[in-house]
Structure 1
């Protein structure tokens, strides 16, 4: 999950530069994230430290506040219907973008209607949807919940919105984490 999360954020206009700014001081290159060797314990520790420094992973702070320590992870492909049921994180921007529902389909409808959240431009979503329609592949989304029937997006909100704008043209590759205590994080 850590390698997948960092890979997704590295390609993000919003988070990529912050991540890069932590690599050099840690004596690491982008290859740590672009070509992760999961059998390398030292590299795994470096990635975990990077996610802790940038997002609070394993430190019960920032994005990972109230995130359980023990999570079961699986790789999966979601159908359009399953992806439409995923909710955004409970964060003011995503709540406003979706009109309060936290559903990507509602956000897509609002974007198509020209509505903005917190006066943030919608072009990144539209550009990502166009890339998807051209056949570009996106990194897997990271979704979490107490079980697989009620998932919240942990990483990949822009990509999830792009899929919704494009009417979910393909199955969506995901990493899904479940834990009985996930409800404290994934409200």
Structure 2
């Protein structure tokens, strides 16, 4: 792992929301939340971390859509104090990252929560809960065509035992492509992260 520098909660929140903005599954709900709060997509696509009000608005949006800072939904048991760094994760390290403990990702990976196992099952034509695998395949083709993905967000008690917080589809696309390159990530660590990242 090559540490690129210090990150922050504000950058993580912006990165998380930006990743979900382009998601087929979560993008619509996020756009509704932006509209309800009277914000444009530029709040997410062009974040200014020096703007305290914009940082607060993004945190409120992540709270409203995913429970961030409110100990609910995706962020239930997520520690309030996390150390964030920006890093390049090697292919071997990325292959060891686990999916979050959620029924779909457990099923897709055959119980291991490992992206390499999910990739093998996808290549074998297996589906989780009959959900189509085409988004993973399309993303891996985009990767092979030179598209650059936003950073993954990975968390754990230590940097050598990480769970994906945001970017599961992209992580799976990297696995389908055989992890061809180092992957830019935001990595969050906290002594109590094990309560969330089981």
Q: Is TM more than 0.5 here? A: yes
* Corresponding position of 1:52: 63
Structure 2 unaligned regions, length at least 5: 1-11
Pair 1:95 & 2:106 matched: yes
The equivalent of 2:179 in structure 1 is 168
CA distance in 2, matches of 1:17, 1:140: 21
The number of residue pairs the alignment matches comes to 187
What SS does the corresponding residue of 1:146 show, helix, strand or coil? strand
Partner of 1:117: 128
1-structure distance, mates of 2:122, 2:87: 28
SS at match of 2:158: coil
The alignment status of 1:142 with 2:161, answered yes or no, reads no
| TM-score, structure 1 normalization | 0.99
User: How far did residue 64 of structure 1 move?
Assistant: 0.1
Q: Does 1:43 align with 2:51?
A: no
Q: TM-score, normalised by structure 2?
A: 0.94
Q: 1:28 aligns with which of 2, 17, 39?
A: 39
- 1:82-138 alpha-carbon deviations (Å, 9 max, x no partner): 000000000000000000000000000000000000100000000000000000000
Structure 2: how far apart are the matches of 1:20 and 1:6? 10
Distance of 1:33 and 1:122 partners within structure 2: 28
Task: Give structure 1 regions of 4+ aligned residues with deviation exceeding 6 angstroms.
Answer: none
Cα distance, 1:25 vs structure 2 = 1.3
3-state SS of 1:175 partner: strand
Query: SS where residue 74 of structure 1 aligns?
Result: strand
User: Is 1:75 matched up with 2:86?
Assistant: yes
Aligned match of 2:22: 11
Query: For the residues of structure 1 that align with 2:137 and 2:36, how far apart are their CA atoms?
Result: 35
C-alpha deviation, 1:169, in angstroms? 1.0
